[in-house]
Structure 1
Amino acid sequence: MNIQNARRWAPRGKRVWLMSALALCVASGVRLALHPFLGPVMPGVAFCIAAAMVEYFFGLIPSLTVMLLGLGIADFLFVPPYGHITIVTRDDVVLAISYPLVTLSTITLIERLRRAQFGAEMIAAVALSRYEMLLRADNERALSRRVVDETHRLVRHLPHYHDAIILLQAVDRDAAQGAKEMAPGRLFANAHPDDIERLQRGLQPGRHRVRIGSGDGMHKLVECICERFTTHAGEFLILRTVE
C-alpha cells in the first residue's frame, strides 16, 4: 500500500538542526582524536557514520547537510596537505568520489526503511482506529437490542401483572436520590403508608415485604419483588406482589 505521507516521518524544528550540528561536532572531535593514529587513512568514516545516524533520527535534509559539511571538514583537516585547499591531490579526488557514494547509499537505504516503517505504523494506527469504531458500533447495536428486548419485556409485564402492581417508579441516574417520578398501581392504595414512605425513599431491585390492607381493615405482610426495566424512555422499577 502506498502511503502518501510516508515521506513526512522525520521530526522538524530547531532541535533537529541542533542535534545534527552536535553530531557533526562529535564526529569531528572523534576524528581529530584519532588523527595521530590514523593519519590520512579513512578521513570520512566518522562523518559517514554521523550522517547515517542523523538520517535515522532526523531525516534526509539534515543528514545531507551533515554529509556535505563533513566532506569539507574531512578534506580540509584530514587529507594531506592538512589545512590547505588550494592543492587538489589524488587523495582529494578519491575522498570526493568514495565518501559521497558510500554515504548517499547508506542514507538512501535508511530513508527507504524509515518511510516503510512509518507507513506500516500509519496503517496499523488506521486499522486500530477502524477496529475501535467497529467495536463501538457493535456495542451500540448490542445496547439497542437490549433496550428493545427490555421494552418488549416491560410491555408484556404490565398487562400480565396489572392487578399485582403496587407502584411504578422512573429512575433518574443524575438525581441525587435516584427517584424521578412514581406512579401508583392497583394495590398502592391498600399498602401501609409507612411502607410506601420507605419505598419512596429508596426502592431497589430485589425482594421486599409490604403490608397490604384487606377488606377488614387489617394489614397483611406480603412478599413483593421489584424488577428493573431499561427502555428507550429510561429506566423503570416495578414493585409487584409475588404470586
Structure 2
Amino acid sequence: MKVRNARHWAPRGRRRWLLALCALVAASGLRLALHPFLGPVMPSTTFGIAAALVEYFLGLGPALMVMMLGLGIADYLFVPPYANITYFDHRDLILVIAHPLVSLIVITLIERLRREQFRAQLIASVAQSRYEMLLRHDNERALARRAVDETHRLLHHLAQHHQELILIKALERDAAARASVGQSTSWALPHAAEIAPGPLFEAVHPEDIQRLTNALWPGGHRVRLRRPPHESEFRLAHCRCDRFTTHAGDFLVLRMEH
C-alpha cells in the first residue's frame, strides 16, 4: 500500500526549530567542556550525535540545520588554529568531508526508518477503522435480520390469535429505551402511543381500557371482560401481553388467554 503522508511524520511549527537550536547549543557546550581533554580530536562528534537525535525526534529539516551549523562551529572552534577562518588545511578538509558524509548517512537511515514506522501506524489506523466499519455493518445486518424475524413472528402471532386480540399498542423508541434501564415492571407508556383495537376491544371494561392505555407491560394481566360481548355483566379474564421489536418499531400485543 502506497501511503503519501508517510513523509509527514515529523511535528510541525516553530517549536521544533527552537528545540533543534537548543540541541545545537547543548552539543556546543558539551564539546567546549570536553575540549581540554580531547583537544582537536573528534571535533564534530557531539554535533553528529545532536543531528541524529534531532532527526529522530524533530525531522529532516532541523537535523540538516544542526549538521550544517555544527560543521561551522566545529571547524571554527575545535580545529587548530582555533577561532581562525582564514586558514584551511587537510584537517579542515577531512572535517568538511567526513562530518557531512557520516551525518547524512545516519540522518538518511533514521529518516527512512521513521517514515516506515509512521507508514505502519497509518496502515494500522486504516485497518482498525475498516474493521470497526465491518463490525458496524455486521451489527446492522444482525439487527435488520432480527427485526425481520420479529416481524414474521408478529404476523404469525396476529394470524394465530386474531379472534383473541384486545389491542395492539405502538411503543415509542425513546420510551422503550427509558423503560429498558428501569425495573422490569416499569413499562409505563406515554399517552401519545398509538393503539389499534382488536376484536375484543369493545368487550373490555372502560376503566380497564384506560388503565391499559396508560400502563401496559409484557406479561400477564387480569381485565374485566364481557363474555360473550353482548352480555352486560363483566367477568375477570386472564390476558397475555407480548412485546415485538420490528424494523417499524416496538409493539405490545394484548390478547386473551384460553
Q: Give me the TM-score of the superposition, normalised by structure 1.
A: 0.93
CA distance in 2, matches of 1:84, 1:35: 17
Match of residue 223 from structure 2: 210
- Equivalent of 2:253 in 218, 224, 238: 238
1:1-243 correspondence to structure 2 within 5 Å = 1-174=1-174, 177-178=189-190, 179-215=192-228, 216-243=231-258
% same residue: 61
Structure 1 residue 217 displacement after superposition: 3.4
Please, which moves more after superposition, 221-230 or 96-105?
A: 221-230
Structure 1 residue 89 displacement after superposition: 2.4
Structure 1 residue 52 displacement after superposition: 0.7
Q: Give the letter for the 1:124 counterpart.
A: A
Please give the secondary structure, in 1, of the residue aligned with 2:193: strand
Please, which moves more after superposition, 167-176 or 132-141?
A: 167-176
Task: Note the residue ranges of structure 1 that are not aligned, 5 or more in a row.
Answer: none
Structure 1 residue 231 displacement after superposition: 2.4
CA distance in 2, matches of 1:207, 1:125: 51
**Count of residues in correspondence between the two structures:** 243
CA distance in 2, matches of 1:79, 1:137: 68
Structure 1 residue 99 displacement after superposition: 1.2
CA distance in 2, matches of 1:2, 1:173: 45
**1:37-63 CA distances to partner (integer Å, 9 max, x unpaired)?**
222221111111111111111111111
CA distance in 2, matches of 1:183, 1:86: 102
Q: Give the letter for the 2:79 counterpart.
A: V
Task: Note the residue ranges of structure 2 that are not aligned, 5 or more in a row.
Answer: 179-188
Structure 1 residue 207 displacement after superposition: 2.1
8 Å CA contact retained: 2:173, 2:249: no
Match of residue 186 from structure 2: none
Q: Give the letter for the 1:104 counterpart.
A: L
Please, which moves more after superposition, 140-149 or 230-239?
A: 230-239
Structure 1 residue 90 displacement after superposition: 2.4
Structure 1 residue 108 displacement after superposition: 0.8
Please, which moves more after superposition, 120-129 or 189-198?
A: 189-198
Structure 1 residue 104 displacement after superposition: 0.9
CA distance in 2, matches of 1:52, 1:5: 22
Please give the secondary structure, in 1, of the residue aligned with 2:202: coil
